[in-house]
Amino acid sequence: MAGSHSHKQDEDLKITPPLWLLAELTYKCPLQCPYCSNPVDMAKYSNELSTEDWLRVLREARELGATQLGLSGGEPLTRPDLDIIIKEARDLGFYTNLITSGVGMDEEKIKSFKEAGLDHIQVSFQASSEELNNFIAGTDAFQHKLEMAKLVKKYGYPMVLCFVLHRHNEDQVAEILDLAIALEADYVELATTQYYGWAMHNKEQLLPTREQIERAEKIAHEYQEKMKGKMRIFYVVPDYFEDRPKPCMNGWGNIFLTIAPDGTALPCHSARQLPGMEFPNVRDYSIEHIWYGSSDFNKFRGYGWMKEPCRSCDEKEKDFGGCRCQAYMLTGDPANTDPVCSKSPNHQALLDDVARIESDFLNHVEQKPLVFRNMRKSKELVND
């Protein structure tokens, strides 16, 4: 059982500062992307932190050494106090990243955020074509996003464009990158869908085929070569198709601290689903206590909690055994090896599952419709 591990083996465990603070300001969002990483039961956590709470969180995290700040959500633009939060963050010395869909943005906001000290804006797109973009987003946002991307550049921000890839747009990678070039993006993230939250719920309808992935990777590499020195392109193979796990969050409680909209502090944005955890809330505890003193943040730090095959693996310092949430979702125990690893006894079951989903798709087995992310649906799923 996960709870029976002690930290005695980790007496020399050194806790490093939380360099990255992800402030999920809200779960509200005008978009309904079916791969959203927010929790499916997000409707339960609608009690958002106040402006004062957030300003205190920023001050305390900065004091501990946090340098990068992600302002995310949901859609952070739905918070009317966003400019106050940006200004405080900049005054404290954070590098401040706004991670937005662009919906709810206008020129006035882009300009006033710049004056408040915002460093960077990441705009997400759902696809390179208007029709697919608007279908996935569940709203007519494409033209507005194009306009916003142009304004982000006009006001001198470095711009990251983020495209989440899945079965329905994986074959558009060339068109996506052409669009990014036309919009003069500085960075493009071809962000493969990770199967957490709503994406996990829609896994059967989102998982691309192996052939799609190989094609997309080849095209991404061609563009990386072609755009060298002009635009940086990040493409990561979906981990379900790998045989070694990702070093998730660079290790549990190592550099990443997420604060959810209701103030719950998490080592990653999907950790709330793990069983037997009672993550601390910033309404009750200081960031210092949460980071250094809370049992849940210490739970998977270091290597003492590991089971075999991780415990004796010579790659454990490289990948930390992968992702705790994925281990839990796919094996029922978050202390197990992430089944993405070919050394995991559960790896074959994952391969079989991926093969079955691919075969169902290629053989046109009738698919359930995509479940779009919204509060109404979340309430339904909570009550199920």
Partner 1 sequence: MNTELNNEAVPSISQQFRFQWEEVQKGYVILYPEGMVKLSGSAGEILRRVDGKTSIGSIINDLEQQFDGVDLKDDVYKFFEVAMENGWITLT
Q: By the criterion CB under 8 A, which residues form the site for partner 1? A: 17, 19, 64-65, 67-68, 70, 93, 95, 97, 119-120, 122, 156, 158, 160, 186-187, 229
Three-state DSSP class for residue 212: helix
Least distance in Å: CB of 59 to partner 1? Answer: 14
Least distance in Å: CB of 60 to partner 1? Answer: 13
How far CA 48 is from CA of 159, 165, 264, 283, 323, in Å, comes to 28, 30, 10, 11, 27
Q: Which CB, 65 or 275, lies closer to partner 1? A: 65
Q: Which CB, 120 or 272, lies closer to partner 1? A: 120
If phi over 0 gives left and psi between -120 and 50 gives alpha, with beta otherwise, what is residue 118?
beta
Q: How far apart are CA 29 and CA 179, in angstroms?
A: 24
Burial state string for 322-353 with b = 16 or more CB within 10 A and e = fewer than 16:
bbbbbbbbbbeebbbbbbbbeebebbeebbeb
Least distance in Å: CB of 124 to partner 1? Answer: 13
Q: Which CB, 32 or 72, lies closer to partner 1? A: 72
Task: Give which of 101, 125, 270, 242 is closest to 189, Cα–Cα.
Answer: 125
Least distance in Å: CB of 367 to partner 1? Answer: 34
Q: Which CB, 213 or 255, lies closer to partner 1? A: 255
Q: Which CB, 80 or 156, lies closer to partner 1? A: 156
Q: Which CB, 189 or 296, lies closer to partner 1? A: 189
Q: How far apart are CA 362 and CA 342, in angstroms?
A: 25
Q: Which CB, 150 or 228, lies closer to partner 1? A: 228
Least distance in Å: CB of 181 to partner 1? Answer: 17
Would you state the structure tokens that stand for residue 45, as one six-digit string?
């956590």
How far CA 177 is from CA of 149, 165, 187, 326, in Å, comes to 14, 12, 10, 30
Q: Return the amino acid letter for 340.
A: V
Sequential DSSP letters for 58-72: HHHHHHHT--EEEEE
Q: How far apart are CA 183 and CA 198, in angstroms?
A: 29
